[in-house]
Amino acid sequence: MPATVALAVARYRPEVESEPISQMYEVPFRKDWVVLDALNYIKDRLDGSLSFRWSCRMGVCGSCGMMVDGFPKLTCSTFLSDHLPGPIRVEPLRYFPVVRDLVVDITDFMQKLKQVHPWITRKEEKPIAAGEYLQTPDQLDRYKPLSMCINCMLCYAACPIYGLESSFVGPAAIALAQRYNLDSRDEAAEQRHEILSARGGIWECTFVGECSKVCPKNVDPAGAIQQYKLTATAHWFKSVLVPWGSR
Amino acid sequence: MSGKVQYTLYHPKWYRRHVSVWWWLENRSYTTFILRELTSVSVAFFAFLSLWYLRALAQGSESYARFLQWLRTPLFLTLDSVAFLFILLHAVTWFNLAPKAVALRLQGKRVPDGIIAGLNYLAWLMLSVGVTWILLRG
């Protein structure tokens, strides 16, 4: 076991650099340390000017996503010991504009997420006195894996289509749209269809499949998108064959 | 990025990385993906070849013999071998990905991926055996 490990951390200080540079830091190696621990060590002991996002330290909040040795990872669950001998390359999430050092701007994702109505919508709400909307375990099973998404955006950083085609709604937002489409309590699938089947929607996806591989919560956005392609195709055939049918 | 970008005092200059045209060489999964996409060229090649085959057949025995002669040239044999390997990659990747797109549910439970992919492979095998039998029976 080495006593220390080197981290090559991307620095971008808009007032200093015109483009990111790599800065080396030597941190103590401990086998129970994750990349986020090393970054916090740098921040606390070596260089207080390093900027990065983090919060829960337990893979729940989705704040600490970064590129580690070229792959999108949650730094709170990426052990230093899995990236020896180093130097371990830490960079901001790919395809997002860099605000500073390891901090990226997530406005684009937040706007796209909102577009797909990721909440339960009813055509007509029933009064509270009428009780809750009941659901069977089977109905819950249909969407539960998709509901595990923590909005960490690793899937966006893994998706070359998002990098090349900025209008693409993207893996997590489509997976979350599908999460609500499959929820027996929701009645807004038609509204989401307008967004998902338009330009920038599901048809931009060419099924690279990397989004599902990097997902720390096993959400499988790639599967959700392909399944929605089948739904959208059936929807289109129905609209052509039965144009008078209710939409 | 979509929408209007707002610059403020605190982030005056965002850095946007340019996506290289060689992005697909960055990791093995991306390269496999591009190879999978390229297999469509082989599919088109075999489709074109089948049409040419029918045309040669329709034009009579002399034309058909010329066509068969051409099939035996080293150039065609090389093209055919490469295209065949790509077709195999096309078929295998397609069948392996099929379970992702087909989420069948039976008695409230999702049919396992192995069953969906297995049924695809089984259909492929049966069709291949059927075609081989038709070609070899005389």
* pLDDT over 50 (residue B84): yes
How many folded domains does chain A comprise? Answer: 2
A247: in domain: no
A142: in domain: yes
Question: pLDDT tens digit string along A99-111?
Answer: 999 999 999 999 9
pLDDT more than 70, % of chain A: 99
* pLDDT over 90 (residue B104): no
A233 part of contact set with chain B, CB < 8 Å: no
Measured between CA atoms, the residue of chain A closest to residue B113 is A223
Task: Please tell me whether residues A14 and A116 are part of one structural domain.
Answer: no
* pLDDT over 50 (residue B1): no
The shortest C-alpha distance from A224 to chain B (Å) reads 8
Question: Would the CB atoms of B101 and A167 count as touching at under 8 Å?
Answer: no
Q: Mutate which of A69, A135, A207 to disrupt the B interface (most B C-beta within 10 Å)?
A: A207
Of A99, A100, A166, the CB nearest to B1: A166
Task: Please tell me whether residues A154 and A218 are part of one structural domain.
Answer: yes
* pLDDT over 50 (residue B136): yes
Look up the ipTM and state it.
0.82
Sort out which chain A residues have CB atoms less than 8 A from B109's CB and list them: 141
- Whole-model pTM? 0.88
Question: pLDDT tens digit string along A63-86?
Answer: 999 999 999 999 999 999 999 998
A246: in domain: no
Of A97, A99, A160, the CB nearest to B23: A160
Q: How confident is the model at residue B12 (pLDDT cuts 50, 70, 90)?
A: low
Q: How confident is the model at residue A14 (pLDDT cuts 50, 70, 90)?
A: confident
* pLDDT over 50 (residue A126): yes
Question: Would the CB atoms of A227 and B37 count as touching at under 8 Å?
Answer: no
Task: Please tell me whether residues A88 and A208 are part of one structural domain.
Answer: no
At residue B100, the pLDDT reads: 86
Measured between CA atoms, the residue of chain B closest to residue A230 is B101
Task: Please tell me whether residues A173 and A217 are part of one structural domain.
Answer: yes
Q: How confident is the model at residue B18 (pLDDT cuts 50, 70, 90)?
A: confident
How many helices and strands, by DSSP H and E, does chain A display? 9, 7
At residue B105, the pLDDT reads: 82
At residue B6, the pLDDT reads: 57
Task: Please tell me whether residues A67 and A112 are part of one structural domain.
Answer: no
Task: Please tell me whether residues A63 and A23 are part of one structural domain.
Answer: yes
* pLDDT over 90 (residue B47): yes
* pLDDT over 50 (residue A177): yes
Sort out which chain B residues have CB atoms less than 8 A from A94's CB and list them: 17
Task: Please tell me whether residues A90 and A112 are part of one structural domain.
Answer: no
Which pairing describes strands B109-110 and B105-106: parallel, antiparallel, or unpaired? antiparallel
Question: Would the CB atoms of A99 and B11 count as touching at under 8 Å?
Answer: yes
A78: in domain: yes
Q: How confident is the model at residue A246 (pLDDT cuts 50, 70, 90)?
A: low
Instruction: Give me the CATH number covering residue A176.
Output: 1.10.1060.10
Q: Mutate which of A11, A53, A98 to disrupt the B interface (most B C-beta within 10 Å)?
A: A98
CA–CA separation, A156 and A160 (whole Å): 8
Reduce the DSSP state of residue A245 to 3 states and report it: coil
The shortest C-alpha distance from B38 to chain A (Å) reads 12
Task: Please tell me whether residues A88 and A65 are part of one structural domain.
Answer: yes
Q: How confident is the model at residue A33 (pLDDT cuts 50, 70, 90)?
A: very high
Which pairing describes strands A21-28 and A98-100: parallel, antiparallel, or unpaired? unpaired
The shortest C-alpha distance from A142 to chain B (Å) reads 9
User: Domain ends where: A40, A70, A100?
Assistant: A100
Task: Please tell me whether residues A69 and A144 are part of one structural domain.
Answer: no
User: Domain ends where: A50, A67, A100?
Assistant: A100
A212: in domain: yes
Q: Which domain holds residue A69?
A: 4-100
Sort out which chain B residues have CB atoms less than 8 A from A208's CB and list them: 29-30, 33
Which pairing describes strands A71-74 and A21-28: parallel, antiparallel, or unpaired? unpaired
- Burial code (b: 16+ CB inside 10 Å, e: under 16) for A145-157 equals bbeebbbbbbbbb
